[in-house]
Amino acid sequence: MSSAEWVLNLSHYAPIAGAIGLVAAVGVYRAMARRSPGTGDLPIIAGRIEEGAMAFLRRQYTVLLPVLLVVAGLLSVAVGWPVGLAFVLGGVCSLGAGFIGMRAATKANVRTAEAARAQGAAAALRVAFSGGSVMGLAVASLGLLGVGIMLNVLLDLRDPAAITEIQFGHFTEIIAGFAMGASSIALFARIGGGIYTKAADVGADLVGKLEAGIPEDDPRNPGVIADNVGDNVGDIAGMGADIFESYVDATVSAAVLGATGMGLMGPARVNATLLPFALIVAGLGASMLALFCMRWLAKGSAAVALRAVQVLGAVFFLMMALALVWALPVNEAGNGGAGLYWAIIAGTVGGILVGLLTEFYTSAGPVYRIAEASKTGPATNLIAGLAVGLESVLGPILVICAALFVAHSQGGLLGIALAAVGMLATTGVVMTVDAYGPVADNAGGIAEMGRLGKEVRAITDHLDSLGNTTAAIGKGFAIASAVLTAVALFAAYVTEVGRTSGHPLALSLLDNRVIIGMLLGGVVPVMIGSLTMTAVGKAAGAVVQEVRRQFREIKGLLEGTAEPDAAKCVDIATTAALREMVVPGLIAVLSPVVVGYFLGTAALGGLLAGSMVAGSLLALMMANAGGAWDNAKKYIEKGLLGGKGSDPHKAAVVGDTVGDPFKDTSGPAISISIKVMAVVALVIAPWLGALGR
């Protein structure tokens, strides 16, 4: 077969590839779930965490489903019912990915602790890793399944040459609706999960560690179950939804650009439209191969294995992508594949580089600078941390600019979208390593609560510290992919405005509306940052009150003779997080609608550009400063500058507490809002066009 036929076939069979991935995820899940969850307190503690996490999801879904239906109704009126339906499907796929991942993670955590106790470090790593890989596979497979079904329903791939202009038009509108559904759910999952996890963490620690003087994860602390639940709803369900969104959005924006924006006709246009789907099929295959290789990698150092598996995934993917695009005719002259290949490489390599830069800023020299500054108190610790955070944006932005430059010069706007696809194609393995972290973290918590002893805790601590590094890398990756995806969506938005309004959108910086839109766009991420920081404070305050109340009112709790009412804390954190997620989420979803409606499509284009610039800087700064503060505290706890309880340690704890909402709530919320704004703009473009804005 020629590469053109390969592309056609792979995208035709994309839903089947997605289904195979899902079956693999279920298989890994079953094998993992068959392992022993331990004895004694262990299954009970784990059961409570699972219960709390599932209760959060259930209640969140109860809030989100009606919203999903209302928005679907509005979209049906404004842009047509197929878009509304696709929106619901996208949302449901996103919910499903979060659900499967959470289920797996809450099974894997206790089994990791038990494996550490019964079989040692290597077995524990394998269990935690399989827990993560269920999430990784679920995210990639569900994404592939969803967009694959949309593709096959909307375009008749058995006779691609016969696809009409109108069919291409419907395809772009409807598949964008699917992306918006995925995005909207992801947004709220991310913000709600982020608020929950830090509210519980800060709340439990403030009273437990500082006031009652008991260690972290101590079972007497009523907030400790909520804290562990938070790791799951924030770092598993939230992060999963975030990456799921990037994955879907990148694919959709590339497909939309292929279908509308390139001025292509005939087979070249079909190839450009189908290529992103073929690429993510290849990416899922590469991820599964790499995950399979973990069998051998896990025998060596765990730290090396966790990196090697990601690099392997990228290498496998690039080899397959080479086979797909090298000779693929995507322009009128019958060539262009080679240029697109460089665009894909730029994305894949860029993602890895940003991850490494993030690791540098959150584990190397800069962290020691913050630790050093802690010697003169919390104020200097904070100034140093903020300075490191600000400084850390330079490298990632330069990498992103370089990737944009290569991608655009080699493949135009489609090249940029394919760079985003290239960065995200190996989501299966990237998300696996990402999700491994919170599983290991939870395993440590369960080991502590179940009093499994120092040796077991040492194993889980080691796995956890690896998880912290991979989590930092994952955050950098998430932001970099968000920026690239946002640029791709932005390009798709502009071409879609051109298609539906009949005249191209110039978007000149000399146009006053564009400048005003940019300034407003810059404000949106800043406001979301402010609101989410305040939300964590409020929600944590509610948890603090409850933990204090229990310490005061439940007799024998501190002595260990009475049980805390953990469920109550879980309930309070859930209620607070769900309440506080609404306003920042709505701002992200509605700002493009309001600006587009009142100021027009040019201002909306400016809004996207402004939010992208300000949002990427703020998200990177917050994520990296938070990670660096966290590790500065950890380094001191390991004995640097006097260790635990010293004055530098106290100063570092202040920095860490400020960094917590930075890195786990506001940073991620901002990063996801950039994409959401862009995808909303893409979906409402036909509506704005019809209104003549």
d(CA 31, CA 26): 9
Which is closer to a copy of itself, CB of 156 or CB of 211?
211
Q: Report, in Å, the least distance between residue 496 CB and a copy of itself.
A: 13
d(CA 151, CA 623): 35
Q: Report, in Å, the least distance between residue 26 CB and a copy of itself.
A: 41
Residue for token pair 């706890």 = 637
Q: Report, in Å, the least distance between residue 608 CB and a copy of itself.
A: 8
Span of 56-64, 125-133, 342-350, 482-490 interacting with a copy of itself by CB under 8 A: 482-490
DSSP tag of 336: B
Q: Report, in Å, the least distance between residue 202 CB and a copy of itself.
A: 8
399 near a copy of itself (CB under 8 A): no
646 near a copy of itself (CB under 8 A): no
658 near a copy of itself (CB under 8 A): yes
Contacts of a copy of itself in 206-225 (CB under 8 A):
206
Which is closer to a copy of itself, CB of 477 or CB of 490?
490
Total count of residues recorded for the chain: 693
Q: Which of 22, 142, 199, 400 binds a copy of itself (CB under 8 A)?
A: 400
If one counts every other C-beta atom within 10 angstroms of the C-beta of residue 120, the result is: 13
Q: Report, in Å, the least distance between residue 657 CB and a copy of itself.
A: 4
Q: Which two tokens stand for residue 435?
A: 């999700």
Beta bridge partners of 336: 329
Which DSSP string corresponds to 585-602?
HHHHHHHHHHHHHHHHHH
Q: 162: closest CA among 66, 38, 266?
A: 266
Which is closer to a copy of itself, CB of 111 or CB of 198?
198
Contacts of a copy of itself in 315-354 (CB under 8 A):
none
Which is closer to a copy of itself, CB of 198 or CB of 307?
198
526 near a copy of itself (CB under 8 A): yes
Q: Which two tokens stand for residue 654?
A: 């202040």
Q: 278: closest CA among 644, 13, 87?
A: 13
Which is closer to a copy of itself, CB of 491 or CB of 570?
491
Q: 658: closest CA among 389, 268, 349?
A: 389
Contacts of 686 (CB under 8 A, 6+ apart): 79, 173, 496, 500
CB 528 within 8 A of CB 588: yes
Q: Report, in Å, the least distance between residue 555 CB and a copy of itself.
A: 26
Phi, psi (5° rounding) for residue 329? -80, 110
Q: Report, in Å, the least distance between residue 508 CB and a copy of itself.
A: 5
Which DSSP string corresponds to 513-534?
HHHHHHHHHHHHHHHHHHHHHH
516 near a copy of itself (CB under 8 A): yes
Q: Report, in Å, the least distance between residue 419 CB and a copy of itself.
A: 11
Residue for token pair 């979209």 = 75
512 near a copy of itself (CB under 8 A): yes
Which is closer to a copy of itself, CB of 274 or CB of 406?
406
Interface pattern 153-192 for a copy of itself (x via CB under 8 A): ----------------------------------------
Which is closer to a copy of itself, CB of 122 or CB of 387?
387
| N- to C-terminal Cα separation, the chain | 47
d(CA 90, CA 86): 6
Helix (H, G, I), strand (E, B) or coil at 432: helix
Applying CB under 8 A, the site for a copy of itself has a residue count of: 72
CB 351 within 8 A of CB 289: no
507 near a copy of itself (CB under 8 A): yes
Contacts of a copy of itself in 354-393 (CB under 8 A):
373, 376-380, 382-384, 386-391, 393
Which is closer to a copy of itself, CB of 544 or CB of 569?
544
CB 223 within 8 A of CB 217: no
Q: Which of 509, 586, 590, 594 binds a copy of itself (CB under 8 A)?
A: 509
Which is closer to a copy of itself, CB of 408 or CB of 462?
408
Residue for token pair 């990698």 = 297
Which is closer to a copy of itself, CB of 206 or CB of 297?
206
Contacts of a copy of itself in 527-566 (CB under 8 A):
527, 529-531, 533-534, 536-537, 544
Q: Crossing angle of helices 266-297/14-33, nearest 10°?
A: 20
Which is closer to a copy of itself, CB of 146 or CB of 521?
521
Contacts of a copy of itself in 486-505 (CB under 8 A):
487, 490-491, 494
510 near a copy of itself (CB under 8 A): yes
d(CA 75, CA 64): 16
Q: Report, in Å, the least distance between residue 479 CB and a copy of itself.
A: 13
Span of 12-20, 184-192, 288-296, 607-615 interacting with a copy of itself by CB under 8 A: 607-615
Which DSSP string corresponds to 94-162?
HHHHHHHHHHHHHHHHHHHHHHHHHT-HHHHHHHHHHHHHHHHHHHHHHHHHHHHHHHHHHS-TTSGGG
Which is closer to a copy of itself, CB of 130 or CB of 601?
601
d(CA 355, CA 343): 19
Which is closer to a copy of itself, CB of 364 or CB of 509?
509
Span of 48-56, 293-301, 463-471, 520-528 interacting with a copy of itself by CB under 8 A: 520-528
CB 576 within 8 A of CB 197: no
Contacts of 193 (CB under 8 A, 6+ apart): 230, 233, 234, 235, 237, 238, 241, 577
76 near a copy of itself (CB under 8 A): no
d(CA 173, CA 167): 10
Q: Which of 208, 610, 668, 686 binds a copy of itself (CB under 8 A)?
A: 610
Which is closer to a copy of itself, CB of 147 or CB of 540?
540
Q: Report, in Å, the least distance between residue 149 CB and a copy of itself.
A: 31
Q: Which of 79, 176, 324, 514 binds a copy of itself (CB under 8 A)?
A: 514
